[in-house]
Amino acid sequence: MNSITIREIEERDNERMESIIKSIFPEFGLPLVGTAYEDLETKQMYQSYQGDREAYFVVEEHGEVIGGGGIKPLANVDENICELQKMYFIPQARGKGYGKLIFKKCLGQAKSFGYDKCYLESASELKAAIHLYEKDGFKNLDGPLGGTGHYSCGVWMIKDL
């Protein structure tokens, strides 16, 4: 892992992150509608994470962006909850612990921003990611929170920070 760098997203990363995010959906047979695939943010990841109490981090290996993840305030809730968003990696990067590093970086940032809880949505097909979330103390919910627009996601989880 010596050759990796974790850093905040830059505008030059937009096209690469969009490509990574969109490649996951056909790979796992996930729906293209009602998911991050069709989010306007996916085309402009840098611009989409410039608000207060939000951040997106990328992982670079040998100078190439291989994945990332971010946090934002959970839309349409009155509580102090952030959402873990758009955590995706190229196939060659999986199983190396990079997801865990980005995950920890995002949760650490969420704590420093002062959030009380972290929420996430996923798909049951993304078993490795769900296992990571469960190991870290995320609990399953019976339905979605907020208004993410991701009606095709079937896994909803939350954790106290």
For the packed helices 127-135 and 98-112, what is the interaxial angle rounded to 10 degrees?
A: 50
Multiple choice CATH, 4-160, 3.60.20.10, 3.30.300.130, 3.40.630.30, 3.30.420.40? 3.40.630.30
Q: In Å, how far are 5, 61, 80, 88, 96 from 2, measured between CA atoms? A: 8, 9, 36, 20, 12
What's the pLDDT at 1?
A: 53
Report the pLDDT value the prediction gives residue 2, as an integer from 0 to 100.
Answer: 62
DSSP string computed for 113-157 = TT-SEEEEEE-TT-HHHHHHHHHTT-EE-SS--TT-S-TT--EEE
Per-block average pLDDT, block size 10, for the chain (161 residues)?
88 98 93 89 96 97 96 94 96 92 96 98 89 94 89 91 96
**Domain ranges within the chain, ordered by starting residue:** 4-160
**Residue 148 has what pLDDT?**
85
